[in-house]
Homo-oligomer: A and B are copies of this chain.
Amino acid sequence: MTNQFPARIKKSAENHHSRIVLALDIKGKEPKPLLEKTLHILKQTGVNLAAVKLNYHLLLPLDLFNSVATIINEAHNQGLQAIADLKINDISSTNTVTASYLWDAGFDSLIANPFVGLEEGLGPVITAAHEENRGIILLVYMSHKGAEDGYGLKVQSNTHTAGRFMEMHELFLDRALSWGCDGIVVGATRPETMKKVSSKVQGKLLVFSPGVGAQGGSPRPTIQSGADFLIVGRSILDATSPAQAAEDIRRATWRPF
């Protein structure tokens, strides 16, 4: 079966004229008010978004098959895609169980770390995701400072480069392409990498870029450098008016595919 996640998220983007993935990094230890706050934000901002991204902020305290499924359902009702961001990097038997739970809750795509490798690692979960018409997004270069200690390392790969040294993020990009994934993550704090990557992958992988706002990246230049989607959290969530903040970023960064 052809995986339609890339087509679905592009359609969501076109419908709302938006390149924004809202990171629902909302804090709260009481499940009920946390769910209500999340749904409230989603209702305020949904029309300005293409997708939402959920991580441990919601996936740990909230019940997956009730509260999280309710959030995903609301996102779908608003014409948005839902991405699970657990940066999975486990053995395949655990990864496939994890993914099957996420698909059952309604997620359209998940983010994984290609560091864990293909065989008995991400291989089976990529295959299973595509059979279920869901997407896989791989980390290529994260946005925080310490990312250089991993994604910026010089490495020698026996399997991919016949002994040549390259930077880890180049190796990860090769993996995303050769493993048949759907998207990659490249931090907005690394504009040079973004330019190189986006020229290489155009049309083959969607580029998601976190790190604008609180972490220092700028929305408009990031899209101009070739990112397909901005992952935005605090700039919208912490604004006096999340709806207005989302609309402002949407207007400043929208361009058709």
Please provide the chain A residues from 182 to 217 with a CB less than 8 Å away from any CB of chain B in the complex.
Answer: 215
Interface size of A by CB at 8 A reads 56
Map CB proximity to B onto A17-29 as digits: 1 under 8 Å, 0 otherwise.
0000000010101
- Distance (Å) between the CB of A254 and the closest chain B CB? 26
Query: Interface majority SS on A: helix, strand, loop or mixed?
Result: helix
Decide yes or no: A144 and B120 within 8 Å by CB, A57-B94, A61-B65, A97-B56 being known contacts. Answer: yes
Pairwise interchain contact A60-B101, C-beta atoms closer than 8 A: yes
Which residue of B has the minimal Cβ distance to A123? B146
With a cutoff of 8 Å between Cβ atoms, the chain B residues found around residue A104 in the complex are: 29
When chains A and B are docked, how far (Å) is the Cα of A93 from the Cα of B97? Answer: 27
Pairwise interchain contact A116-B146, C-beta atoms closer than 8 A: yes
When chains A and B are docked, how far (Å) is the Cα of A55 from the Cα of B157? Answer: 30
- Distance (Å) between the CB of A152 and the closest chain B CB? 9
Decide yes or no: A157 and B153 within 8 Å by CB, A57-B97, A90-B55 being known contacts. Answer: yes
Pairwise interchain contact B159-A156, C-beta atoms closer than 8 A: no
When chains A and B are docked, how far (Å) is the Cα of A146 from the Cα of B87? Answer: 17
Map CB proximity to B onto A113-128 as digits: 1 under 8 Å, 0 otherwise.
1111111111100000
- Distance (Å) between the CB of A209 and the closest chain B CB? 14
Which residue from B86, B90, B122, B154 sits with its C-beta under 8 Å from A155? B154
- Distance (Å) between the CB of A26 and the closest chain B CB? 10
Pairwise interchain contact A89-B113, C-beta atoms closer than 8 A: yes
Which residue of B has the minimal Cβ distance to A165? B156
8 smallest A-B Cβ distances: which pairs? A117-B146, A117-B149, A121-B146, A120-B144, A115-B150, A119-B146, A154-B156, A56-B98
